[in-house]
Amino acid sequence: MFKGFTRFLQSPGEHLRSLFGPDDAAAAELAGPRIIPRNEHPVSRQHLSESALKVLYRLHNAGYEAYLVGGCIRDSFLGRMPKDFDVATDATPEQVRELFRNSRIIGRRFRIVHVRFGREVIEVTTFRGRPNDDHGDHIAQQSEQGLLLRDNVWGNIQEDAVRRDFTINALYYSIADFSIHDFANGARDIESRTLRMIGDPTTRYREDPVRMLRAIRFAAKLDFQIAPGSEAPIHEQAHLLLQIPPARLFDEILKLFMAGHGVETFRMLRHYGLFPMLFPETEEAMATLPWTEGLIEAALASTDKRIREERPVTPAFLFAALLWGPVQLRQATLEEDGMPPIPALQLASQQVLSRQLKHISIPKRFSMPMRDIWDLQQRLPLRRGKRALQTREHPRFRAAYDFLLLREEAGEVEPGLGDWWTAFQEGDEHEQMRLLEKAGANATPGDRPKRRRPRKRRRRSAPPDNP
Ligand code: ATP
Ligand code: MG
């Protein structure tokens, strides 16, 4: 950790003039920021994007206030490479738009400006004020439950700070003197690795329940503890996620599971009761089919590993694992009613997907390959004649084969078929012929990998006899 910064945290006196607790938003507004001068914090221009700096300088030179805020400053503080850069300013979206030819105003719920530099996009946000104040541009809306529907009321930097989610996300880097303005004791919370909601957590989660998911995401990604006061209401308010539009949840799911900390995130979502609000049928399947949880964890672990190795990952594979349990339960029921396996899987896939879409919208470009991965699970065991060669040519073969390996690893099916396919892919023509003959001798059409355990878990104890 940067020396000056540590010193700043340790020295009492003038640096600690704002002793308000960050849970007390009103106090935070009155006390003003703590200014951390350039020589006492670790954020250096060398680690900031040139495009972001250009935006800051141009706003500054035009007479506006301009700061970097949010994840980029938080991550720089922690010595991590920032992923993207968010600028906060007192210029309105229209004024920002006028300064940058390469910009456009986006969003309705939150109007912001995107300034584009090649592939990089800098997000410029006008300071938000309090929704109930009588500002010029008065268009904040709140639902009866306290959910913020729109938030386009402009304010000053202090008001903007207390409307952000966590204290560590409310650090503002000023381009005027390279100092950091800390409105909610974010620097202290970074030092103690604490994730703390600004203001009254219950109210803030009610305003925007996605903040509960963001709490889990940051805790898992940064390895921070959620402060007790910010943690407790999550258990109680998890159900509020049901109000969030499926499209927004899809974006959040990607950020949750495709950021390299999927396993930890999944466990935390379950711990806080958030997971059943996102994937209700999967939660149910986990209670009935013991391998479901292992399959999901194995898929997340493999995704995390690929991300660390900078190999490509696809949400289709993850969704395939997340929803395979419910699909298998549904397929089993359809088969019990007399439907043959192939149509039963197709119908089960369709039904599970359409129910899931009410919670999280999965775009077709991911749901189609997901269904291919499922369909191929029925084709992988059929290896007679040309079938193995045809399956091998399927564009989704590789993902389906990886998926089969995870099913074996999770104990859903007996190992064996995965090894066969591994050998088949690696073998020369001669070896492939030998494997095909071996498979032909053992397999029958409609064959499927052997299940390891009975489909449904037995009740632990029989219900007491009624005398
Ligand atoms: P990362 O980009 O690394 O995922 P981030 O903190 O930058 O993390 P963004 O979604 O880019 O997250 O948001 C930028 C900033 O906007 C946040 O740091 C936070 O200050 C504020 N913010 C974002 N979403 C919310 C929200 N739902 N409620 C309150 N403030 C928010
Ligand atoms: Mg960001």
Locate the ligand 1 atom nearest the alpha carbon of residue 71 and give its number.
7
Assess whether the C-beta atom of 169 lies below 6 angstroms from ligand 1. yes
- Catalytic option among 75, 90, 160, 165: 165
User: Which amino acid residue places its CA nearest to atom 30 of ligand 1?
Assistant: 164
Residue, of 28 and 159, whose pLDDT is higher: 159
Run of H or E residues at 194: strand 194-195
Assess whether the C-beta atom of 364 lies below 6 angstroms from ligand 1. no
For residue range 85-111, what is the model confidence (pLDDT) as tens digits?
A: 999 999 999 999 999 999 999 987 788
Q: What is the pTM of this model?
A: 0.86
Alpha helices in 194-290 (DSSP H): 201-207, 210-222, 228-237, 246-257, 262-271, 275-278, 280-288
Run of H or E residues at 35: strand 34-36
* CA nearest to 87, candidates 107, 65, 62, 120: 65
User: Is CATH 3.40.50.300 correct for 3-201?
Assistant: no
Residue 240's pLDDT is what?
A: 97
Assigned CATH class of 270-438 = mainly alpha
Residue 264: count of CB within 10 angstroms of its CB: 16
> Among all chains, which residue has been given the structure tokens 């703390």?
196
Residue, of 420 and 363, whose pLDDT is higher: 363
Catalytic (active site) residue 86: yes
Coil vs helix vs strand at 423: helix
Question: From CA 335, how far away is CA 381, in angstroms rounded?
Answer: 19
Rounded average pLDDT over 53-72: 97
> Which ligand is in closest contact with the Cα of 70?
1
All structural domains of the chain with their residue ranges: 3-201, 270-438
Probe target for ligand 1 pocket from 127, 162, 169, 181, with the most ligand atoms within 8 Å of CB: 169
Coil vs helix vs strand at 394: coil
> Which ligand is in closest contact with the Cα of 49?
2
Alpha helices in 25-138 (DSSP H): 25-31, 50-61, 71-77, 93-99
Q: How far is the CA of 387 from the centre of ligand 1 (A)?
A: 50
Above 60 in pLDDT, residue 20?
Answer: no
Above 50 in pLDDT, residue 17?
Answer: no
CA angle (198 as vertex; 192, 203 as ends), nearest 5: 135
Assess whether the C-beta atom of 408 lies below 6 angstroms from ligand 1. no
Assess whether the C-beta atom of 78 lies below 6 angstroms from ligand 1. no
Catalytic (active site) residue 84: yes
Residue 420's pLDDT is what?
A: 83
Rounded average pLDDT over 203-207: 96
Q: Could you tell me the two tokens for 402? A: 């990886």
Rounded average pLDDT over 262-286: 98
Residue 441's pLDDT is what?
A: 54
Question: From CA 12, how far away is CA 20, in angstroms rounded?
Answer: 14
Residue 450's pLDDT is what?
A: 66
Report the range out of 182-191, 417-426, 452-461 with the highest average pLDDT.
182-191
Coil vs helix vs strand at 214: helix
* Mean pLDDT score across all residues of the chain: 86
Q: Which amino acid is at 207?
A: E
* CA nearest to 313, candidates 297, 301, 327: 301
Question: From CA 104, how far away is CA 83, in angstroms rounded?
Answer: 21
